[in-house]
């Protein structure tokens, strides 16, 4: 008669059966924070709508970059990319607003449609960037001036 030991530890798992690793090699936490870095620009713009929308769009990426730049390189890269894109976007919107204001309102006939088109385009780029970051891919915005490095 063989005796089984009920208190024996279970056998070790076979090699390669650990937690699934994402193909990009970026952890789920880093991918999530990177996605938040891109989406925080939208949240900042919504919260500070009105005169401060240009400023609010880059506060979120800036905070995430400052918090995570030392510990999560993928997040730092994507937050920096989002920060630079949103600074560029804010500068463009401020120039269009100044154009409309300096032309005594007549320039707003051109500036407002351009602001809407640029805003919709930026929304599309931000959503694409968030999805790519969540997939573990580094995303580069096509029209960003890299001011912060």
Record the tokens describing residue 31, joined without a space: 């991918």
Q: Is the pLDDT of residue 17 over 90?
A: no
Cα-Cα end-to-end distance for the chain? 72
Domain-located, residue 139: no
Confidence of residue 135 (pLDDT cuts 50, 70, 90): very high
Domain-located, residue 79: yes
Please tell me the total count of domains within the chain: 1
What would the pLDDT profile of 62-112 be if each residue is shown by its tens digit?
Answer: 999 999 999 999 999 999 999 999 999 989 999 999 999 999 999 999 999
Global pTM value: 0.80
What domain range includes position 56?
28-134
Spatial separation of the C-alpha atoms in residues 40 and 8, rounded to whole Å: 50
Q: How many CB atoms neighbour CB 108 within 10 A?
A: 17
Say what the pLDDT of residue 145 is. Answer: 87
Domain-located, residue 38: yes
Domain-located, residue 17: no
Domain-located, residue 94: yes
Domain-located, residue 143: no
Q: Is the pLDDT of residue 61 over 60?
A: yes
Confidence of residue 131 (pLDDT cuts 50, 70, 90): very high
Domain-located, residue 63: yes
């Amino acid at each position: 008669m063989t005796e089984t030991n009920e208190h024996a530890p279970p056998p070790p798992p076979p090699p390669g059966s650990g937690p699934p690793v994402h193909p990009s090699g970026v952890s789920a936490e880093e991918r999530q924070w990177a996605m938040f870095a891109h989406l925080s620009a939208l949240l900042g713009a919504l919260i500070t709508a009105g005169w401060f929308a240009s400023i609010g769009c880059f506060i979120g990426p800036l905070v995430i970059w400052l918090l995570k730049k030392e510990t999560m390189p993928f997040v730092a890269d994507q937050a920096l990319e989002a920060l630079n894109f949103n600074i560029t976007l804010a500068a463009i919107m401020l120039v269009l607003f100044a154009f409309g204001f300096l032309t005594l309102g007549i320039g707003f006939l051109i500036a407002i449609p351009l602001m809407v088109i640029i805003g919709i385009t930026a929304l599309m780029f931000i959503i694409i960037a968030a999805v790519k970051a969540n997939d573990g891919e580094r995303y580069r915005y096509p029209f960003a001036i890299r001011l912060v490095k």
